[in-house]
């Protein structure tokens, strides 16, 4: 068999953006699932918290306890995976030089951030299915429609952007401390455990925190079948703003 002149010449070039995104998302998802302890904690902690908050009445809420706490724990699971886990993993990847090596490849920074966000979204599917199953076993009766998916996606984008912003600018140990501190503050002030009405005059300000917007939006939709435009808009602003800033200031090393 004869070949035309030049037909076997090497033609090095970067892969199409779509192919790079799929490959990097698969790699990020594989790395996440291999970290068994972290996956186990992201599944056990929210489920355990849901059971305790539902069965032990040490926090007063309006209405059925399970209907109030399932949306809050769903938002906590999203925040834990998309923000805390994302920030810590990215911070240590920078510290250990993993991202520096990726930076030497044709992989664009925006594709890396998108792949990390999509991999988190896939992990969250398992979390949310488990939390919803436990909620139904506890007597949860959800309402709402497919708009829940939009809230989950926007919440994931918002927290992922914040996590990548933190992990993409600070060193690993600093990111570890900062991410856990922010997670704890958002847990207390974001309407996950305590109703925002408990904070009096500060409630109107706290409503615009991403955790509060997500937990309140999910609660209104799943508990009352209503979508609050303010929560949706707030999450959209957090998502676009955090991802845009993260893409701009993210450092490979």
Q: Cβ(210)–Cβ(159) under 8 Å?
A: yes
Is residue 5 a part of any domain in this protein? no
Selected residue with higher pLDDT from 171 and 235:
235
Global pTM value: 0.86
Q: Is residue 208 part of a domain?
A: yes
**How far is residue 151's CA from residue 157's CA, in Å, rounded to a whole number?**
10
Cα 160 from Cα 24, distance rounded (Å): 16
Q: Print the domain residue range for 126.
A: 17-54+61-249
Counting beta carbons within 10 angstroms of the beta carbon of residue 203, is it exposed (0 to 12), middle (13 to 18) or buried (19 or more)? Answer: middle
Indicate whether 110 belongs to any domain. yes
Contact 77, 127 (CB under 8 A): yes
In a domain, 127, yes or no: yes
Give dist(CA 55, CA 66) in Å, integer: 8
Within-domain flag for 161:
yes
Read off the pLDDT of each residue in 185-200 and give the average, rounded to a whole number.
84
Report in angstroms the alpha-carbon separations of 167 from 105, 211, 220. 20, 19, 32
**According to the model, what pLDDT value does residue 6 have?**
58
Lowest mean pLDDT among 13-17, 63-67, 120-124, 165-169: 13-17
Is position 245 within any domain? yes
Looking at the structure of the chain, the number of domains it has is 1
| Predicted pLDDT at 11 | 63
Q: pLDDT tens digit string along 50-62?
A: 999 889 887 788 7
In a domain, 6, yes or no: no
What's the confidence (pLDDT) of residue 12? 64
Q: Residue 73 pLDDT > 60, yes or no?
A: yes
215 domain residue, yes or no: yes
């Amino acid at each position: 068999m004869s070949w035309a002149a030049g037909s076997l010449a090497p033609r090095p070039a970067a892969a199409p953006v779509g192919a790079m995104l799929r490959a990097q998302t698969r790699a990020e998802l594989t790395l996440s699932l291999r970290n068994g302890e972290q996956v186990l904690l992201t599944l056990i902690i929210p489920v355990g918290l849901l059971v305790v908050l539902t069965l032990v009445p040490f926090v007063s809420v309006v209405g059925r306890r399970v209907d109030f706490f399932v949306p809050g724990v769903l938002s906590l699971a999203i925040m834990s995976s998309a923000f805390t886990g994302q920030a810590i993993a990215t911070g240590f990847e920078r510290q250990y030089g993993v991202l520096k090596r990726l930076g030497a490849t044709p992989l664009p920074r925006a594709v890396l951030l998108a792949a990390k966000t999509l991999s988190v979204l896939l992990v969250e599917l398992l979390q949310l299915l488990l939390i919803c199953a436990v909620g139904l076993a506890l007597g949860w009766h959800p309402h709402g429609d497919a708009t829940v998916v939009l809230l989950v996606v926007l919440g994931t984008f918002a927290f992922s952007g914040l996590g990548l912003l933190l992990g993409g600018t600070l060193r690993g140990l600093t990111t570890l401390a900062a991410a856990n501190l922010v997670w704890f503050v958002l847990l207390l002030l974001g309407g996950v455990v305590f109703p925002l009405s408990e904070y009096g005059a500060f409630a109107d300000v706290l409503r615009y925190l991403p955790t509060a917007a997500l937990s309140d939006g999910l609660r209104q939709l799943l508990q009352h079948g209503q979508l609050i435009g303010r929560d949706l808009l707030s999450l959209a602003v957090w998502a676009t703003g955090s991802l845009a800033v993260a893409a701009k200031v993210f450092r490979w090393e």
